[in-house]
Amino acid sequence: MLDLRFVRENPEIVKQNIRNKFQDAKLPLVDEVIELDEENRKVKKEADDLRASRNKISKQIGALMGQGKKEEAEEVKKQVTAASDHLAELEEKEKDLEERIKKIMMMIPNIIDPSVPIGKDDSENVEVQKYGDPVVPDFEIPYHTEIMEKFNGIDLDSARRVAGNGFYYLMGDIARLHSAVIAYARDFMIDRGFTYCVPPFMIRSDVVTGVMSFAEMDAMMYKIEGEDLYLIGTSEHSMIGKFIDQIIPEEELPKTLTSYSPCFRKEKGAHGIEERGVYRIHQFEKQEMIVVCKPEESKMWFDKLWQNTVDLFRSMDIPVRTLECCSGDLADLKVKSVDVEAWSPRQKKYFEVGSCSNLGDAQARRLRIRVNGPDGKKYFAHTLNNTVVAPPRMLIAFLENNLQADGSVRIPEVLRPYMGGKTEIK
């Protein structure tokens, strides 16, 4: 969410940013919120003037009563009552205007970084760099669920009977591999100085609207019937929410946390749920990293975060590349984002396995996360998040890149301690 004063003073910058994100339908919101803000400031001034006037004439009542001027005192009381009634009306109007302003402000997208390429959607994202040499073996690589099924490692049919499409049972060595990847990712991030955390897997609505846009919320979140609770779509939601309404001493920054959680997503939209695959599903597990830092440090942390994911995948011999997300592919709160994609030998192309985002002060402003500077002045923190690893997609990349000609799967050295010393799955 932008600073209202910034919108008021820079309407053309805000409008151009909306055009850059190809959201022209939101352009009228800028003028509308500026008009509402002007009206609200007038109402506030009238209310303040009326309070001052009421307080002044209220003081006359005692003096008049002391002088025995009861009738005049009663007349002044009527004026005070009338002023109080009108003040109540103004306060109600002020409350209504502020709600309308807040609702619109939460729909106006954050200002993107000048370095972000302009483009309509993810088809116009820009490749930044490749890491590792993509290899296509001289033998056929089956679809990922077929590889898992050969090890009796997945049961989609039973999951469909139990919960429907978008769920799965993992079993045996495949289930163990799934847990091994999560455990390795946890230790990988701890070794890089991040504090490990297991957060709540449900959050309240004020946290949901603090960490994402209304459109994302509708497309992703599962609501708990009859309660003000939502299942998290990623632990980032819960982890950033940890700091809601807090004033953090500047010397405690940065906050660097890595979290494990299950994730629950509707996956509503064009992509849909695959019947046989585990690429896009309703439930999965994930290791995440988040940073809360000073504004001047967020660019540095952004580069560190996506590099962590690249390094993790490369440590398991999986080729990856980074993509700069274009303006039209950025969610409304994001300033800048880089996707990490893993190589798929079967498809002979890369696919997304993680996303790193700098949200500037947007989430902090919505959640009221402030920093107390050395001079006592308070300012909004910057927040960032990045996927360490999400095993369902990770498993696809892992199995395809480590499948051997005889059908066995090689276990990279870094994962062997988490797999009981196994060097391969047969």
> With contact defined as beta carbons under 8 Å apart, do 322 and 128 qualify?
yes
Question: Of 403, 404, 399, which Cα lies nearest the Cα of 177?
Answer: 399
What DSSP string describes 85-152? Answer: HHHHHHHHHHHHHHHHHHHHHTTSPPPPPTTSPP-SSGGG-EEEEEES-----SS----HHHHHHHTT
pLDDT of residue 52: 83
pLDDT for 81 equals 81
Please tell me the number of Cα atoms within 13 Å of 200 on its side-chain side: 13
CB-hemisphere CA count at 13 Å for 370? Answer: 9
**pLDDT at residue 220, rounded to an integer:** 85
Provide the pLDDT for residue 270.
Answer: 47
What ranges do the domains of the chain cover? 4-105, 122-425
Full pLDDT tens readout for the chain, 426 residues: 899 999 999 999 999 999 999 999 999 999 999 999 999 999 999 998 888 887 777 777 766 676 777 777 767 678 778 888 888 999 999 999 999 999 999 999 999 999 999 999 999 999 999 999 999 999 999 999 999 999 999 999 999 999 998 899 999 999 999 999 999 999 999 999 999 999 999 999 999 999 988 778 878 899 999 999 999 999 999 999 999 999 999 999 999 999 999 999 987 654 555 557 888 889 999 999 999 999 999 999 999 999 999 999 999 999 999 999 999 999 999 999 999 999 999 999 999 999 999 999 999 999 999 999 989 999 999 999 999 999 888 999 999 999 999 999 999 999 999 999 999 999
Taking the C-alpha atoms of residue 364 and residue 358, their distance in angstroms, rounded to an integer, is 12
What dihedral angle (degrees, nearest 10) is formed by the CA atoms of 405, 407, 413, 414? Answer: 130
Supply the pTM of this predicted model: 0.89
Both structure tokens of 9: 């003073």
pLDDT recorded at residue 53: 80
CATH T-level fold of 4-105: Helix Hairpins (1.10.287)
197 beta partners: 259
Class assignment of domain 122-425? alpha beta
